[in-house]
Amino acid sequence: MESEFQAAKPILQKLHDRGFEAYFVGGSVRDHLLARAIHDVDIATSAMPEEVMMIFPKYVPVGLKHGTVLIFHEKLGYEVTTFRTESDYEDFRRPANVQFVRSLKEDMKRRDFTMNAIAMTTTGELIDFFEGGNDIARKVIRTVGEPSERFSEDALRMMRALRFASTLGFSIEEKTKESISELAPLLAHISVERITGEFEKLLMGDYVHKVYTLIVATGLGKYLPNMASYEQKMECLSTYDCWKLDKLVERWALFLLVLEVKEPTCFLKSWRLPTKQMKEIHLIVEGVRNLHKENWTKLKLYEFGPEMIESTEKVRSVYQNQQSNHETLLKKYQELPVKSKKDLAVTGKELLQWLQKRGGSWVAVYLQRIEEEVLNGTLQNEKEEIKEAVLSWEK
């Protein structure tokens, strides 16, 4: 058993000592069976949330309504969730009501896919009511119970099915897939934030190129934010080596380039991406559109900085199916006389002093000119020389 489980064993033990059941559940058990890296070890227990909080004095009630208490053991946090069932799904979204129960099977029944509904004991024994282990061995994604019921309860599960197809390389079981095709319109009821969350995991999957075809085939693509008019083009993405890109912003950028999205920021706003991320994606997309090998000027290298140079060049290489030139570009960047504004031997404040003028937009214009001249080598990055030049511009 992986060290992540070993480290968490004392928590389950403590719950056992008080007479409760406790198991490892969810993605960690699935990933353990697949011999994949484990991120968070989730624990399910028959103890009620109040009981969990009594047993573990150091806790954060992160999702008490859903029975989740975050507890700490050896400085690591673990989510301990009470066995529960769900009901009263409103508008095809997450349930309005949960009931805490003492039965593991009931808890497993409310989970989305068979591969995610396996419990594991501290000795590594599996409790698998729905043949999840078998589905993992066959690499199949199948809902626990009737797919149409499960997708109508929570339409996000359809996105999750595709997300897992992308990250695990599994296929979606026929009936489950048919049901997605039928119920795809229900995705319109799901909040953009939840869709984006799953979509970004999908984008980062090792098998994402295979999943684009599936998104179009099932019709789910139409219900993604702002995608109605781009949906068909998504199929083209399957011919690109998306897996060569390891950053999320790079995968987004390739996505927008292939879909030929004219205004990246406007498009991404409908996906509610954070501003910083939108700016980076925009920079990469416009970089690929405008910068070819020969026109990476010193000024462009300076403006983009090392991270964005590397990302832009990598995306370009995948987009145009050519070798990436980022190492040469990064070398050129390293040779620049200044790497960022703070390397300039002059500040805006000094300009004000030298010229005895009041502040205004001219300061930025002057600084930019200094930057350009320093980068092009027509001016040394030295205070006295810059001062002389600036004073001469005034004449």
Give, as ranges, the residues between 82 and 121 that touch ligand ATP (CB under 6 A): 111-112, 116-117
Residue 112 interacting entry, from ligand ATP, Mg ion, none, C-beta within 5 to 8 Å by type: ligand ATP
Segment contacting ligand ATP (CB under 6 A): 149-157, 259-267, 276-284, 372-380? 149-157
Give, as ranges, the residues between 337 and 376 that touch ligand ATP (CB under 6 A): none
Which letter does DSSP use for residue 252 in this model? Answer: H
Tell me which residue has tokens 């199949």.
Answer: 140
- The closest residue (CB) to ligand ATP is 27
Residue 248: Cβ-neighbour burial (10 angstroms; 0-12, 13-18, 19+) = middle
Q: How is 300-323 classified by DSSP, letter by letter?
A: HHHHHHHHHHHHHHHHHHHHTT--
Among 11, 12, 26, 143, binds ligand ATP (CB under 6 A): 26
Residue 156 interacting entry, from Mg ion, ligand ATP, none, C-beta within 5 to 8 Å by type: ligand ATP
CA dist list (Å): 22 to 28, 102, 261, 347: 15, 11, 49, 62
Order of strands across the sheet that contains 59-63 = 59-63, 68-73, 76-82, 42-45, 22-25, 119-120, 126-127
Please state the separation of Cα 229 from the chain's center in Å: 24
Residue 116 interacting entry, from Mg ion, ligand ATP, none, C-beta within 5 to 8 Å by type: ligand ATP
Among 142, 157, 282, 326, binds ligand ATP (CB under 6 A): 157
CB of 79 to Mg ion, least distance (A): 9
Nearer to ligand ATP, 27 or 225 (CB): 27
Residue 345: Cβ-neighbour burial (10 angstroms; 0-12, 13-18, 19+) = middle
Nearer to ligand ATP, 169 or 348 (CB): 169
Which parts of the chain are beta strand (E)? 22-25, 42-45, 59-63, 68-73, 76-82, 84-89, 95-100, 119-120, 126-127, 140-141, 171-172
Nearer to ligand ATP, 27 or 63 (CB): 27
Nearer to ligand ATP, 136 or 370 (CB): 136
Interface with ligand ATP, residue 27, by CB under 6 A: yes
CB of 254 to ligand ATP, least distance (A): 22
Interface with Mg ion, residue 27, by CB under 5 A: yes
What is the DSSP pairing of strand 42-45 with strand 76-82?
parallel
Sites of contact with Mg ion (CB under 5 A): 27
Sites of contact with ligand ATP (CB under 6 A): 26-27, 39, 42, 111-112, 116-117, 154, 156-157
